[in-house]
A and B are shown apart, each in its own frame.
Chain A
């Protein structure tokens, strides 16, 4: 069913009963051309672009749980492309441009809202780093501008710019076309569109082993729903990538940490944009439901607990209360953790692996949601052609051997 004004009206008068299942739930076939491990946004987008742009429709997307149940459903939905290095700017801006037309592309409302992402500077070092980013971004065709504290407050009225704060605001960078999207809708939209083109989405299908032939090539996955042979296998398993890749005998440059987020009780619209502060570690936006969506930090140690220490989120709330005094009496509704896979240079890994037939897209760390469409797009190209997409090429696994790292961590455009 194609969503349109007519279908909306028809549903309205029929009591919303005309909506069919949005994707098929088929039994696994014995053989697929491509098997994607992980039905989050990135995995589903990969399957979608394999089917749409490369005509490879005999594709399965496997997930241990339900689709979009991992980090896709746990993140704070921020979309921006103001990364420092040329390679990163190309990758994230590729994704950013795709967000702008994604709802039309998928015929599914992903609620992309370019309301502006503002990143605060609290000291001289911050200001220098932020200004450096702005210049680098502009050089790469990515709009970003410097705001004085007064301009920042005009853009985001709840902001406290008084000089007696512990970490006063000296200015901010603003990417006006940054914003948010509805995270679940992205997974659902890609799942629906991919399923319609013949992609099988196999939920509750845990990969337990990767089979390799005598030449070492990856040829099949053993799953909780039986053996599935595959021409090519793409692993898009986020925090569990190390676990899956170990099944093929590979060690990865990854460490998995719980990253926390929390939401408040819903209130009327009061917060117009996204505000981030890397220095005192807080990021905040308001969802269409009215909840404040707050991102906290990662725990200090490797863990798969999907929880995280309470002191981590308490630390972020301290910062929020100082930056936005009007939220001091807000009650938090719930908090949770997602397991993020962090690389040494805080840039993703997209590409081929030493095992023939096995591809990987991982290492998005604390900020993968914003890249969902672009990540799927370049990874589909990489799988279909067997050579990295030009935008993905610098993000090869090989860079850890050659030393050509893309050090976004030192560049500090990333929220950690």
Chain B
């Protein structure tokens, strides 16, 4: 079971949360069928550093973003929904750290 640091409530066990999949997927303002399929169904599903959303359903109820390594499951950082996605350089440095 993961210990997940909610940016609002602090570290809590995984079963207080619901996973909400890949983060930073923006709904396209206008989309043809291919772009719409990409938005709805296609996922990065990386083996390595991954940014995902969690919702603290049995706590503050809020969504937030989480950077996690999908091989070690180590959580590298969490940040509030709406905050900008960490830059590639930052992610690369985190990735080295989380191996």
Contacts and interface: CB of A to CB of B under 8 A. Distances in A.
Interface of A: 240, 242-243, 246, 251-256, 300-305, 309-311, 344, 400-402
Main secondary structure of the interface of B (DSSP, over half): mixed
Kindly name the residue among A302, A303, A402 whose own CB sees the greatest number of chain B CB atoms within 10 A: A302
Interface of B: 1-2, 14-15, 18-19, 21-22, 33-34, 37-38, 40-47, 50, 52, 68, 70-73
Contacts of A240: 47
A242 B46 contact: yes
A305 B73 contact: yes
A252 B19 CA distance: 20
Given A253-B43, A255-B21, A344-B40, 20 more contacts: A240-B47, A242-B44, A242-B47, A246-B46, A251-B42, A251-B44, A254-B43, A255-B45, A256-B47, A301-B2, A301-B52, A302-B21, A302-B52, A302-B70, A303-B71, A305-B70, A310-B1, A311-B1, A344-B41, A401-B37
Contacts of B70: 256, 302-305
Kindly name the residue among A246, A256, A303, A310 whose own CB sees the greatest number of chain B CB atoms within 10 A: A303
Contacts, number: 69
A311 B34 CA distance: 39
Given A303-B70, A401-B37, A253 B42 contact: yes
A240 B47 CA distance: 8
Contacts of A305: 70-73
Contact of A252 (B33, B42, B52, B68): B42
Contact of B45 (A254, A300, A309): A254
Contacts of A251: 38, 42-44
Given A252-B42, A254-B43, A309-B14, A303 B1 contact: no
Contact of B34 (A242, A254, A310, A401): A401
A309 B19 CA distance: 14
A243 B73 CA distance: 17
A242 B45 contact: yes
Contacts of B73: 303, 305
Q: 8 closest Cβ contacts across the A-B interface?
A: A242-B45, A253-B41, A251-B42, A401-B37, A300-B19, A301-B19, A400-B41, A400-B37
Contacts of B50: 302
B66 to A, nearest CB: 9
